[in-house]
Structure 1
Amino acid sequence: MIIQHIAAFTDGARGGNPAGVVICEALPDAATMQAMAAEIGYSETAFAAPVDGKWRVRYFAPEAEVDFCGHATIALGAALARHERSGTFALRLNRAEITVDGMSSEAEWSAAFRSPPTQTRALPAAALDEILALFGLARGDLDGRIPPVVAHAGMDHPVIALRERARLAAISYDFGQGQELAQRERFCTFALVHAETPQLFHARNPFPFGGVYEDPATGAAAAALAGYLRELAWPAEEPIVIRQGEDMGVPCCLQVDLHGPVGAPVKVSGSVRSIEA
């Protein structure tokens, strides 16, 4: 069993969201993985073992298993590239099969995954009102170009787009109330975003569902957002850049490609760095 500590979606040599990566000959039982994830202490830990030419992967937050985690997938892809070789790795998740490209050389250590298929559904008015109250927001704070929805790319993320960057920076919430709402509605994270330009987004992702106040970089939410933007025919001709974690003092950079038909997987990429455990 190889345990690695890797920060994903780094901003150059800085920042990045820490993830645990555990490469095994066979996956431990769920209780053992949950206990290990709690001990490692990051927002998610990815456990991977080879099965029939693919990698069986499960993700655990400190308090719950999640079906998909983007930043831990980036960390895993980079770890597999260093452990085996640079290339494409097929992953079998709880509810989807995806691929991750891992790159490892003296000049580059990075990864890019293709998400599960994307989709959106309406965010009920009552749930929207509850989310706005949780974060101290009003309907006048919302960006009408990106109406609130529940976006999905492996997990559900309510997307709340704000008109002003300063309003996003000021976000805070009651953790207990957020956790009750997230667990009741099965919201993986709350995707709070601001579009500075069509190509540049700022994001914050509270993660009370998994027992974490806020994630500094969230690849699954980035994929879900990109799938939604594609539905909206968002006017971005190049891959969009998502800046996240800056309001936490942990700068992160995610790149998301909107190309492809509505509902198709989304490519999300980023750099990584090792963390001294």
Structure 2
Amino acid sequence: MKKIAAEVGFSETVFAAPVGDAFRVRYFSPESEVPFCGHATIALGAALVMEQGDTTFPLILNDAEITVEGHQHDGVISAALQSPPTHSAEALPRLVADTLVLFGYTHDDLDPNIPPARINGGAEHLVLGLKTREALAAMKYDLASGRDFMNQEGLVTITLVYAETSQRFHTRNPSASGGVYEDPATGAATAAFAGYLRDIGWPHNGVINIVQGEDMGMRSLLKAEIPPEPGSSIRISGTARLMAS
């Protein structure tokens, strides 16, 4: 699977095999296995609904069991997943300082309303809130240095966030741990971030929208629905498009 994922070259490739009424699922980046990948799960839901029709599919991951549902209507294919449980913790000052150095940011670039944190919704991420959209657009780093740093810290991605409003965010997700400079859509990080907003008492009113991939020319829009129970699953939804082979 790892070899196939490297040959495909996408940020993540999902592999699914039927097991009874469910599917056994694993995710691989070009360089490593990933415990959970949201946008690949949305793509899997879209593929399954085209083959089997509108329904909900149970998925068995390495460390969790989740679901994805798919729908087709008027030529539009959409899917929604229920994430693994979420949790978060304050990022240590050393980790924050090293991350700022990696991207060339300073503490003055950070949004104090979104404190740096380690966040998890099935995979481990670091979130940094930025004060301006311009700072987010200026994101750059050395891929080799980022790979070493993220693997050392056990991070699947680093989530850089700008809050346009209390319910609309712009994000970029470097995924150097898997050999990918940046993900155009990251459902796992979106689930983790939504859970984190719940943890810090952010006024999300039960739903947020994430705009990602704009600075790559691959704009995506993800919706996260946030129930009130701490640590509970986040619902992530979006549409899918067919890609030329």
CA contact (8 A) 2:156 2:175 kept: yes
For the residue of structure 2 that corresponds to 1:274, the secondary structure is: coil
1:44-193 to structure 2, matched below 5 A, reads: 44-193=12-161
Deviation, 1:203, is: 0.1
Over residues 48-71 of structure 1, what are the superposed CA-to-partner deviations in whole Å (9 max), with x where a residue is unaligned?
A: 011122100000111101010000
State whether structure 2 residue 224 is matched by structure 1 residue 266.
no
For the residue of structure 1 that corresponds to 2:188, the secondary structure is: helix
Deviation, 1:123, is: 1.4
For the residue of structure 1 that corresponds to 2:84, the secondary structure is: coil
Distance across 2 between alignment mates of 1:223 and 1:152:
8
Distance across 2 between alignment mates of 1:107 and 1:214:
29
For the residue of structure 2 that corresponds to 1:35, the secondary structure is: helix
Partner of 1:206: 174
Deviation, 1:239, is: 1.7
For the residue of structure 1 that corresponds to 2:236, the secondary structure is: strand
State whether structure 2 residue 175 is matched by structure 1 residue 227.
no
Partner of 1:240: 208
Amino acid at match of 2:10: Y
Over residues 98-130 of structure 1, what are the superposed CA-to-partner deviations in whole Å (9 max), with x where a residue is unaligned?
A: 001111243430100010000012312111110
Partner of 2:9: 41
Over residues 170-225 of structure 1, what are the superposed CA-to-partner deviations in whole Å (9 max), with x where a residue is unaligned?
A: 01001111100111111000000000100110000000011000011100000000
Distance across 2 between alignment mates of 1:260 and 1:38:
39
Question: What CA RMSD, in Å, does the superposition of the two structures yield over aligned residues?
Answer: 0.9
Distance across 2 between alignment mates of 1:58 and 1:244:
24
Deviation, 1:236, is: 2.1
Partner of 1:15: none
Distance across 1 between alignment mates of 2:75 and 2:50:
13
Over residues 15-44 of structure 1, what are the superposed CA-to-partner deviations in whole Å (9 max), with x where a residue is unaligned?
A: xxxxxxxxxxxxxxxxxx111111111111
Distance across 1 between alignment mates of 2:31 and 2:204:
37
TM-score (norm 1): 0.87
Partner of 1:3: none
Amino-acid identity (%): 49
Q: Which runs of 5+ in 1 are unaligned?
A: 1-32
Distance across 2 between alignment mates of 1:233 and 1:114:
21
CA contact (8 A) 2:49 2:72 kept: yes
Kindly tell me the number of residue pairs found equivalent between the two proteins: 245
TM-score (norm 2): 0.98
